[in-house]
Amino acid sequence: MSDTPLIQLVDVTKTYHLESGDFTALNHVSLDIMENDFVAIMGPSGSGKSTIMNQLGILDVPSTGELYIDGKNVAKMTNLERTHLRRDAIGYIFQKFYLIPLLSAYENVEYPLILKNKTRDTTGRASAMLEAVGIDKEKSEHRPNQLSGGQQQRVAIARALVNDPKILLCDEPTGNLDKKTGFQIMDILCNLQKEGKTVILVTHDPKVAEYAKRTIRLDDGRIAEES
């Protein structure tokens, strides 16, 4: 394992230009996240949690400061390079699952593989990922709206993992699930971290945050506390 941080935020500021005036969502944030880390980001609404997740997920770029992912300066990459880095290095798990409604569970998991390899999956990896998160063959043929919340989140985890990314970004992964299912999902994430993934999750729930090795509290766009 390298000593270089997998993710590095250097004095990152994100300002939105609104009609009511400029709004600084992230204010000079510096943060290093090492490979195989398990980081929980907490904070009240409007503290900058979503903004930092968008930065880490390369869905947005800093207004000032620098963001390095796997040693690459995100601001200096082209749109296409950022898209490819997002596809290959980052797996997303959202609170609302965000599965593609027109595709079956299997196709949802297969989709990132198709994006990467430009061909349908013939290796059986998509099926294996679904099996690993507890979705059987019969369920894998179902469309997302035919699955329960817990099953959808499992499919979302399988989709996030199918391209073997280094980073797993989880935005309130248990937010839409009952307690029991939520803990099952957290167990899966813990196991993934143990297997070598770097897990970053945003949560309101202190019990969920307890699974993490590090907890960062944001307030008003700044890191208020780190433990």
Partner 1 sequence: MIGDIFLQLSVRSVKLNFTRSLLASIGIVIGVVAISTMGMLGTNMSLQVEDQLSASANTIVITADAIRMGPPGTSSSSSSSSGISKTQLNKIKAAVGTNGTVIPLYSTTTQFTSGNVQGRGTIYGMNPSDVNEFLTIGNGTNIAGINEALIGLSLAESIGVDVGDRLKVSSASEGPPTNSSSSASRATITVVGIIDDRGTVTDSVSTDNGIVVSKEWYTAQYGGKDQYTQVNVIVDDTDMITEIEDAIDARINTDEKKQSIRITDASSQLDTISSTLETLTLFCLAIGGISLVVAAVSIFNVMMMSVNERVQEIGILLSIGTETGEVRRMFLYEAFILGLLGAGMGGLMSIVIGYSVVDAMIGTTEYFFMPASIFYVPIGMFVGLVVCVISGLYPAWRASNMDPIDALRSD
Is there binding between residue 172 and partner 1 (CB under 8 A)? Answer: no
* Residue list 119-138, contact with partner 1 (CB under 8 A): 119-120
Q: Please, which residue, 89 or 209, has the CB nearer to partner 1?
A: 89
134: left (phi over 0), alpha (psi -120 to 50) or beta: left
Is there binding between residue 57 and partner 1 (CB under 8 A)? Answer: yes
Helix axes 105-117, 149-161, angle to 10 degrees: 20
Is there binding between residue 149 and partner 1 (CB under 8 A)? Answer: no
219 in Cβ contact with 24 (< 8 Å)? no
Q: Name the DSSP letter for residue 176.
A: T
Q: What are phi and psi of 125, to 5 degrees?
A: -65, -40
Cα Rg, the chain, nearest whole Å: 17
Is there binding between residue 114 and partner 1 (CB under 8 A)? Answer: yes
Task: Mark out the alpha helices in the chain (DSSP H runs).
Answer: 49-56, 79-89, 105-117, 125-132, 137-140, 149-161, 179-194, 206-209
Is there binding between residue 190 and partner 1 (CB under 8 A)? Answer: no
Out of 36, 63, 111, 214, point to the residue binding partner 1 (CB under 8 A): 111
Out of 18, 21, 78, 101, point to the residue binding partner 1 (CB under 8 A): 101
* Residue list 63-92, contact with partner 1 (CB under 8 A): 79-80, 83-84, 86-88, 92
Is there binding between residue 98 and partner 1 (CB under 8 A)? Answer: yes
Question: What is the contact surface with partner 1 in residues (CB under 8 A)?
Answer: 54, 57, 59-60, 79-80, 83-84, 86-88, 92, 94, 98-103, 107, 110-112, 114-116, 119-120, 159
